[in-house]
Amino acid sequence: MRNLRVFVASLATETNTFSPIRIDRSAFEDAFYAPPGSHPETPTLCSAAFVAARRQARLHGFTLIEGTASWAEPAGLVARSAYEGLRDEILYQLRDAMPVNVALFGLHGAMVAEGYDDCEGDLLARARAIVGPDAVIGIELDPHCHLTQAMTDASTVLVTFKEVPHSDFLERAEDLVALALSAARGDVRPHVTVLDCRSIANFLTSRSPGRELVDDILSMEGKNGVLSISIVHGFPAADVADVGTKVVVITDDAREKGRALAAELCTRIRAFGANRMPYMPGPEEAIDLALATKGGPVVLADRWDNPGGGVAGDSTFLLRALLERPEIAAAVGAIWDPVAVTFCLAAGSGARLSLRFGGKAAPSSGAPVDAGVEVMAVTPDHVVPFQDSRVSLGAAAAVRIGRLDVVLASKRAQTFHPEVFESLGIRLSEKKIVVVKSASHFHTAFAPIASEIIYVNCGGPYPPDPARIPYRRIRRPILPLEAAEPVWMT
Ligand SMILES: [Zn+2]
């Protein structure tokens, strides 16, 4: 173990190919960019392998060589130069680190760049060519990835987060590092089975039937030769060939057992149906439902304007519905509007001004709001917790319109935590309705303060229904577009 050489790097974003927001290298550098040796002690969603590998290196004394880690907030297509530049930076570091026994990559798995529908498959194939056939390549993926043949072929072991929302990214990184190290030591001979379910699943693990599925998987791992099980949900907001749900079972050299288990899990997931999301009311109905609820704040999740899914996070549909009901004590956040934030910072805390905000990225964001506001608070950098990580919303402001408080942010990020409001002086306990821009990651931190959580369908801009997405390049047949049978990838 002491003479093992382990390399770790991370390159991640999630590309919504339907989003109008293009990203270049500055989007990575602004969101998260840690050159070798500068990764913080806290993990980020896709770079937890750094933290897990450091811990194992301290325990066992192997040599850990750190490469670059970078993440861009999900958006539209990545510029070719941005992807190639970051890829080549990491591959140069890997070449420089040779010989290595283990190469670990924290990826998301759904990055699409100009000219590259499968960035991770491209990166991993090049990494395999450098490390050779005998080194272990271990990858951590978000379950909202496109698990492609190229990614599967180039990697030795792969682990996805199990939880949606992804509360377990550090635990899964620990699993990955432990598995990759045991494979490198020869303690296990990982056999990876991947079954393409030929379906687009859409389910949460915070409620049935996803909850039971994850609990069962966790109870199967580490027993009877089953080393690891991952469920790739897939990321439907991308028009690429490999969209879809896949089951990954890694056994200790037990191919048939892995196949049987993968087939069983695939059948179970396909039986969930195409869309296991709860019924989602529109804005007015959601507000009525919230008012009919007893007790404290009701959280309305603006599920389809979630910056984490690559869209802007500046839609105004719920905001406008609340402005029509000025008697309701409410808070909305965070609306992405760097221009409005600049105006608020210049005016300063306590200022009153006429402000235009929200509704700017695309027609699907709705119209901007014009209102007389009081600036409650401003900050040059609004940093909030997300699990074990910290996320910056950039410069931000809280503004008040009667009983409605709104957080405006200059960086796109999900409303992960009540601190998005509270640290700017908005007391959520005094609100009846709290609107968050997030599909599911808000859940862990907001559930303890919410009397009820309602997922709201404002119609977009993220495409809410796979059956209505105008796909042109996705491989067919696939459920729910038409009948389709599962296909073995390994
Ligand atoms: Zn995800």
Q: Which of 317, 260, 274, 279 is nearest to 461 (CA)?
A: 317
Residue with tokens 């802007």: 312
What is the C-alpha separation between 375 and 353, in angstroms, rounded? 8
Q: List C-alpha distances in Å: 385 to 69, 301, 382, 416, 486.
A: 19, 18, 10, 7, 40
Provide the token pair at 220: 């199967």
**Residue 145 Cα to ligand 1 middle (Å):** 7
- Tell me what pLDDT residue 274 has: 59
Q: List C-alpha distances in Å: 89 to 94, 198, 320, 373.
A: 9, 35, 46, 46
What's at 92, amino acid-wise? Y
**Residue 91 Cα to ligand 1 middle (Å):** 25
**Residue 246 Cα to ligand 1 middle (Å):** 14
- Tell me what pLDDT residue 275 has: 56
Provide the token pair at 184: 């490198």
What's at 110, amino acid-wise? A
- Tell me what pLDDT residue 466 has: 78
**Residue 285 Cα to ligand 1 middle (Å):** 28
What is the C-alpha separation between 63 and 373, in angstroms, rounded? 56
What is the C-alpha separation between 10 and 123, in angstroms, rounded? 11
User: 26, 32 in Cβ contact below 8 A?
Assistant: no
**Residue 87 Cα to ligand 1 middle (Å):** 22
- Tell me what pLDDT residue 387 has: 84
**Residue 279 Cα to ligand 1 middle (Å):** 21
121 three-state secondary structure: helix
**Residue 167 Cα to ligand 1 middle (Å):** 10
What is the C-alpha separation between 288 and 264, in angstroms, rounded? 42
| HEC secondary structure over 276-311 | CCCCCCCHHHHHHHHHCCCCCCEEEEEHHHCHHHCC
Q: List C-alpha distances in Å: 36 to 68, 69, 306.
A: 5, 8, 31
What is the C-alpha separation between 244 and 247, in angstroms, rounded? 10
What's at 244, amino acid-wise? G
How many other C-beta atoms can be found within 10 angstroms of the C-beta atom of residue 221?
A: 16
**What pTM, to 2 d.p., does this model score?**
0.90
Give the rounded distance of the alpha carbon of 91 from its chain centre: 24
- Tell me what pLDDT residue 202 has: 76
What is the C-alpha separation between 6 and 184, in angstroms, rounded? 10
**Residue 14 Cα to ligand 1 middle (Å):** 8
Give start and end residues of each alpha helix (H) in 61-191.
Answer: 80-97, 119-131, 149-154, 169-185
Q: List C-alpha distances in Å: 406 to 170, 212, 262, 288.
A: 32, 37, 46, 20
User: Can you list the pairs that 91-97 forms with residues at least 24 positions away whose Cβ atoms lie under 8 Å?
Assistant: 91/123, 91/126, 91/127, 91/130, 93/7, 93/9, 93/36, 93/65, 93/67, 93/68, 94/7, 94/9, 94/67, 94/127, 94/130, 94/131, 95/130, 97/5, 97/7, 97/65, 97/67
What is the DSSP secondary-structure string of 361-383? S-GGG-PPEEEEEEEEEEES--E
Rounded to 10 degrees, what is the CA torsion of 29, 33, 35, 36? -170
Q: Which of 10, 66, 65 is nearest to 38 (CA)?
A: 66
Give the rounded distance of the alpha carbon of 13 from its chain centre: 8
Q: What single DSSP character describes residue 342?
A: H
Q: List C-alpha distances in Å: 391 to 32, 209, 210, 311.
A: 9, 30, 27, 18
**Residue 281 Cα to ligand 1 middle (Å):** 23
What is the C-alpha separation between 44 and 56, in angstroms, rounded? 18
Provide the token pair at 26: 């500055």
pLDDT tens, per residue, the chain with 490 residues: 779 999 999 999 999 999 989 999 999 999 999 999 999 999 999 999 999 999 999 999 999 999 999 999 999 999 999 999 999 999 999 999 999 999 999 999 999 999 999 999 999 999 999 999 999 999 999 999 999 999 999 999 999 999 988 989 999 999 999 999 999 999 999 999 999 999 988 788 888 899 999 999 999 999 999 999 999 999 999 999 999 999 999 999 999 999 999 999 999 999 987 555 678 999 999 999 999 999 999 999 999 999 999 999 999 999 999 999 999 999 999 999 999 999 999 999 999 999 999 999 999 899 999 999 999 999 999 999 998 889 999 999 999 999 999 999 999 999 999 999 999 999 999 999 999 999 989 999 999 999 999 999 998 788 888 778 889 999 999 998 899 999 999 9
What is the C-alpha separation between 21 and 311, in angstroms, rounded? 7
**Residue 37 Cα to ligand 1 middle (Å):** 27
157-160 and 136-141 strand pairing: parallel
Sheet containing 246-252, strands listed edge to edge, beginning at the edge strand earlier in sequence: 226-232, 246-252, 190-196, 487-488
**Residue 401 Cα to ligand 1 middle (Å):** 34
How many other C-beta atoms can be found within 10 angstroms of the C-beta atom of residue 74?
A: 29
Query: In angstroms, what is the C-alpha Rg of the chain?
Result: 23
Q: Which residues surround ligand 1, an ion (CB under 5 A)?
A: 142, 144
Q: Which of 424, 476, 426, 475 is nearest to 449 (CA)?
A: 426
